[in-house]
Chains A and B, each alone.
Chain A
Amino acid sequence: MPTAAETTIVQARNLQKSFKRDSFEVKALDDVSIDIAEGEFLALMGPSGSGKTTLLNMIAAIDRPTGGELLVMGENIFRLSDQQSAKWRNEKIGYIFQSFNLIPVLTAFENVELPLLLTKLNKQERRDHVLTALKLVGLEDRVHHLPKQLSGGQEQRVAIARAIVTDPQILLADEPTGDLDSHSAAEVLEIMTRLNQDAKKTVVMVTHDPHAAAYAHLTRHLEKGMLLPA
């Protein structure tokens, strides 16, 4: 039986995030503690403003707590400098956005290649990785298309290819199906399930949608910044 330290990929303890709006103090996260096991597919649910995305952004080291501790893959990511956390994100995290966030002037290939430009891979190796990732999401025939030439579902699949092309251990998805029709949403969720089951990626998905959450092994709810008991 492995120890908790070996299987836990994300360990949050008493995470706090508060900010001032006018004269009120708003708590985006209120004493959140959670362990996420390696290989987990976790759905975070809750109403708007409950702190789901804030928690996700903290795991990605793009937002910082005002209190508490967070270890991701054993690393206290808030001790990293700005440059170090950028590098860390590039290597360890794949991030999928609700509105895809592809660079409009770059082709599908170039969008997927972007994170690889920060690695030591040569051009041919980058090409191989990009084509493998695009094939994995079923878009090998859309390599040279610009985002505006793709459907919403295809755009999100390119975004998934971009998120996995560096082979990160954790995939973070913020409402990945929020802008998609049900058919495209199902395709995207199936890809994410496959990545979790076959490629053993740990997936943390923020969603409003119970259908989407049904693909996850585990669903946790947040409300007013607090994590409700499992």
Chain B
Amino acid sequence: MAIPFSYNLRNLRLRLGATVMTAMGIALTVAIAIFIMALLAGLKAAFVTSGDPLNVLVMRKGSQAELSSSVDRPALQAMKYLPGIARDAHGEPEVSPEMVVVIVLPRRDGTGEVNVTVRGMTPMGIEMRPAIHLASGRWFNPGQREIVVSNSIHQRFGHANLGDTVSFGKGEWTVVGVFDAGHTSSDSEIWTDVNQMATDFDRPVFSSVLLHADSAVAADALAHRVSEDQRLELDGMLESAYYAEQTKSGAPIQFVGTVVAFIMAIGSCFAAMNTMYAAVAYRGREIATLRILGFSRPSILTSFVLESIALSLLGGLAGILLMLPFNGMTTGTSNAVTFSEVVFRLQLTPALLLKAIAFSAIMGLIGGLAPAWQASRRDIVAALRS
């Protein structure tokens, strides 16, 4: 049997000051790591949950985003009657020509202006997104300068209350409704009538066309058919795949976050190492006594490594506690594909918390190895005299 773990825990308690200081340093590192991971998890969730698996998004061949795409009216007509497209109760094909522009809105809290996506669509476009529903007010009327804003835009930006007006295109647009898009990327959009937008922006073409297939197989077939039609020169892809691709917007956060967390982790390893070296120096005679009682070098090594891991886990738990209040907090980032702001929630998932715990344990292991090795290699006679 090994040296009892309670020996290590009680020693951590005995030197409470050093333990708390080191644990707090580790806690901050873990908190930063959790923050970055939660941001990325939220961002991923915003995109991955966006997009109906039966919807096919059609854009110009080679376009990576709706903003740089164009689809003309003859192509729209050609696509409307492709096989596999679902029809609504009135027998109308479920096809929505859409136009996307980016406008600038001031933040409600006065911290500057942010790009926001305005999406023009037909009423069919609303029907094709059954997951999104009206939270208050009503949907826009075709042929009117009326807009419906998402919940998060309503909360985060000025001039986004019912009855407010927003100026873009050729005039003032009135907010007539607020929609709830859950936490999908539509939660960062403003919706309006596509034809009114075409008039205001003098655009004869659409940005994209959304097709709703009658089955998953048909959706795949539709996407292929559109892409392979030489006359159309368009690309069709599943809407869910398009949004999944956009999680790349998180790459800069991921890069900077990883670098910061890595540098802080190195600092924390040194903090743990420093504390453990002090512990080993302080307990030289205890270590020698344990060796004389018959405990082997490996059991001394294990004992001190475990103590370092316990110290680090304490910091990890404190870091998690520090971050808990931020769970579910909403924030935004600039989407590199659409040049507009994407709103998402910080999500502290169980998997993420497990990762944070593993992260702190690894810091403890790395920080504790050298001092524990020194403890196990100390000459008994010399240590007894210490």
Contacts and interface: CB of A to CB of B under 8 A. Distances in A.
Interface of A: 57, 60, 62-63, 82-83, 86-87, 89-91, 95, 97, 99, 101, 103-106, 110, 114-115, 117-118, 162
A82 B286 CA distance: 18
A62 B292 contact: yes
7 tightest Cβ-Cβ pairs between the two chains A and B: A90-B294, A105-B10, A117-B1, A101-B289, A62-B380, A86-B296, A115-B293
Contacts of B2: 117
Contacts of B384: 97
Interface residues of B, number: 26
B7 A103 contact: yes
B297 interface: yes
Given A95-B292, A101-B288, A105-B7, 15 more contacts: A62-B292, A62-B380, A82-B297, A89-B293, A89-B294, A97-B289, A103-B7, A103-B289, A104-B286, A105-B11, A106-B6, A106-B7, A117-B2, A118-B294, A162-B293
B386 to A, nearest CB: 12
B295 to A, nearest CB: 7
B5 to A, nearest CB: 12
Interface of B: 1-4, 6-7, 10-11, 13-14, 285-286, 288-298, 380-381, 384
Nearest to B2: A117
A83 B291 contact: no
Nearest to A84: B296
A45 B287 CA distance: 28
A114 B4 CA distance: 8
Q: Which of B3, B285, B290, B296 has the most CB of A within 10 A?
A: B296
Nearest to A100: B289
A118 B1 CA distance: 5
A110 B8 CA distance: 13
Contact of A117 (B3, B13, B14, B296): B3
A175 B50 CA distance: 78
A97 B4 CA distance: 22
A122 to B, nearest CB: 11
A83 B273 CA distance: 26
Q: Which of B291, B292, B296, B384 has the most CB of A within 10 A?
A: B292
A41 B359 CA distance: 56
Query: Which secondary structure characterizes the binding site on chain B?
Result: helix
Query: Which secondary structure characterizes the binding site on chain A?
Result: helix
B381 A63 contact: yes
Contacts of A91: 294
Given A63-B381, A86-B291, A114-B290, A106 B296 contact: no
A89 B292 contact: yes
Q: Which of A87, A104, A114 has the most CB of B within 10 A?
A: A114
B155 to A, nearest CB: 53
A87 B294 contact: yes
A99 B380 CA distance: 15
Contact of B295 (A57, A106, A118): A118
A94 B271 CA distance: 38
B296 A83 contact: yes
A130 B290 CA distance: 17
Contacts of B11: 105
A90 to B, nearest CB: 3
A90 B299 CA distance: 14
A99 B2 CA distance: 25
8 contacts: A60-B292, A86-B297, A90-B293, A99-B285, A103-B286, A104-B14, A104-B286, A106-B6
A82 B285 CA distance: 18
B1 A101 contact: no
A118 B3 CA distance: 9
Contacts of B10: 105-106
B289 A86 contact: no
